């Protein structure tokens, strides 16, 4: 187990070094994406379109934040398994390197993490107030028509964590799966 | 009671855990080690930070359910609760959680068809119990219409299997509400009502008290642990509520509740 402070832009080499049990605090930019944003992103791509934001080497956060006056009030992770049916495709197509969520993911995501070189991490579920503490602000918002929880919020974070690696790029998992 | 009381009760329940729940979390932390202990520490730090800064503990402020027990003024209370939800959504604030199930359209008020969720009980108790139910734990809850011959063993099996299936998804350590009997919908209602009971309270029925203790022991043997990272504490408590049922039925509902068991009571004067 290592405690690391990392930037949110990761290349394959960085990610391959991460192992289950590592604890990471991130500084940079993360993209919230949950159910409807996954659905829309893949629809756009499958119809030959292009996403309005670039996820290559980036981190997405399974989160529907609570927002007031353009400020993030509380923003813990949501249950990642709901995104399992989309995640393999999203990883392979966009080239994202990290997913932060909670509650673990399934076999397809595991395969994609290994094949592409990416990690799945968990922020303590329910700790929304704590998460918001390390969110400095909102850089951008996409797809607001999906509703506040489902939109893609581009968040500027400082020492965002603890993010525990629970599925690494070698196919290892941590805890009860 | 006025609208202000409702808004303040919602604020209090969203931003601060009941003492009995926080105490159980503290005890759980002491039993865990390694990463699971780090998880418990983060959870407790979050509870403290939320309380001190009056911020909702979890961004999923839930669907807020009202259990109204009184003898009169139902329509007046209903109006106040609707107004209370509207105001709390802006003032606490609450995440805008309610959507049309077909179109997924979010009107941004935490209201909508058949909202807010109100359970009226004609009773001389004169109180409103309020419970915020997040989706992570609600989504892994279940109802089963067992055969009467399944008996208590069948109830135990269903509870354990539901917790196993839920696994690490519902933000453990969880609280397990079990509703037995009644009708199909009442079993679920009982399971939810059970969650209103304090975690250190004893079930008044001695047999059920033993059953609750036995189930808690069995659940904690599963080793799911805090956030599913493994450990001794998968559940903080098991709470059972029941009612008589049809001779041909054994309805059993298991309502899973995340560690953030957010409830408050308003006493009606």
The string of pLDDT tens digits covering residues B14-39 is 999 999 999 999 999 999 999 999 99
* Cβ–Cβ contact A124 with B under 8 A: yes
Do B92 and B141 belong together in one domain?
no
Rounded to 5°, angle at Cα B55 from B77 and B15: 50
Do B168 and B100 belong together in one domain?
no
Q: Are B36 and B111 in contact (CB under 8 A)?
A: no
- Last residue within a domain, chosen from B100, B116, B134: B134
For residue B73, the model assigns a pLDDT of 86
Do B125 and B149 belong together in one domain?
no
Mutate to test the interface with A, among B95, B105, B132 (most CBs of A within 10 A): B95
d(CA A75, CA B49): 13
Do B94 and B146 belong together in one domain?
no
Do B126 and B173 belong together in one domain?
no
Least Cα separation, residue A66 to chain B (angstroms): 5
| A177: chain B residues, CB-CB within 8 Å | 167-168, 228
pLDDT tens for each residue of B217-240? 999 999 999 999 999 999 999 999
For residue B67, the model assigns a pLDDT of 97
Q: Which residues partner with B130 through β-bridges? A: B66, B264
Name the catalytic one among A18, A34, A37, A38: A38
What angle do helix axes B206-221 and B151-166 make, rounded to 10 degrees?
40
- Percent of chain B at pLDDT > 90 equals 99
The complex's ipTM? 0.96
Position B269 pLDDT exceeds 80: no
d(CA B92, CA B260): 17
Do B93 and B148 belong together in one domain?
no
Q: Are A120 and A105 in contact (CB under 8 A)?
A: yes
Which residue range(s) make up the domain with A108? 3-167
d(CA A164, CA A123): 6
Residues of chain A with pLDDT under 70: none
């Amino acid at each position: 187990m290592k405690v690391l402070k990392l930037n949110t832009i990761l290349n394959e080499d960085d990610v391959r070094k991460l192992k289950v049990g590592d604890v990471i605090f991130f500084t940079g930019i993360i993209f919230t994406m949950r159910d409807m944003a996954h659905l829309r992103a893949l629809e756009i791509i499958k119809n030959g379109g292009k996403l309005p934001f670039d996820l290559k080497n980036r981190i997405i956060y399974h989160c529907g934040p609570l927002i007031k006056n353009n400020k993030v009030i509380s923003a813990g992770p949501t249950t990642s398994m709901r995104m399992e049916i989309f995640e393999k495709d999203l990883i392979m197509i966009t080239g994202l390197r990290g997913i932060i969520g909670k509650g673990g993911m399934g076999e397809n995501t595991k395969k994609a993490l290994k094949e592409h070189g990416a990690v799945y991490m968990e922020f303590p579920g329910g700790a929304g107030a704590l998460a918001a503490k390390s969110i400095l602000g909102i850089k951008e918002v996409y797809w607001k028509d999906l509703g506040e929880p489902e939109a893609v919020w581009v968040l500027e974070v400082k020492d965002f964590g603890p993010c525990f690696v629970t599925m690494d790029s070698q196919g290892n998992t941590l805890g009860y799966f | 009671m006025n609208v202000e009381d409702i808004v303040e009760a919602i604020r209090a329940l969203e931003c601060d855990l009941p003492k009995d729940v926080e105490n159980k979390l503290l005890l759980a932390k002491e039993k865990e080690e390694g990463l699971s202990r780090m998880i418990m520490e983060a959870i407790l730090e979050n509870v403290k930070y939320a309380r001190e800064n009056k911020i909702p503990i979890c961004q999923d402020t839930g669907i807020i359910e009202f259990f109204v027990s009184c003898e009169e003024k139902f329509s007046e209370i209903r109006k106040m609760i609707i107004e209370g939800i509207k105001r709390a959504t802006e003032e606490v604030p609450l995440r805008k959680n309610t959507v049309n199930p077909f179109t997924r359209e979010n009107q941004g008020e935490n209201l909508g068809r058949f909202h807010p969720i109100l359970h009226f009980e004609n009773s001389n108790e004169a109180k409103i119990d309020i419970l915020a139910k997040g989706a992570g734990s609600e989504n892994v809850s279940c109802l089963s219409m067992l055969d009467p011959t399944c008996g208590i063993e069948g109830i135990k099996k269903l509870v354990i299997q539901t917790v196993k299936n839920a696994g690490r998804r519902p933000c453990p350590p969880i609280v397990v509400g079990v509703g037995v009997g009644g009708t199909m919908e009442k079993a679920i209602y009982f399971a939810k009502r059970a969650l209103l009971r304090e975690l250190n309270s004893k079930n008044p029925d001695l047999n059920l008290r033993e059953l609750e203790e036995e189930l808690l022991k069995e659940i904690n043997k599963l080793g799911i642990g805090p956030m599913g990272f493994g450990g001794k504490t998968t559940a903080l408590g098991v709470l059972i509520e029941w009612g008589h049922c049809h001779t041909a039925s054994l309805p059993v509902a298991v309502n899973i509740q995340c560690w953030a068991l957010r409830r408050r009571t308003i006493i009606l004067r």
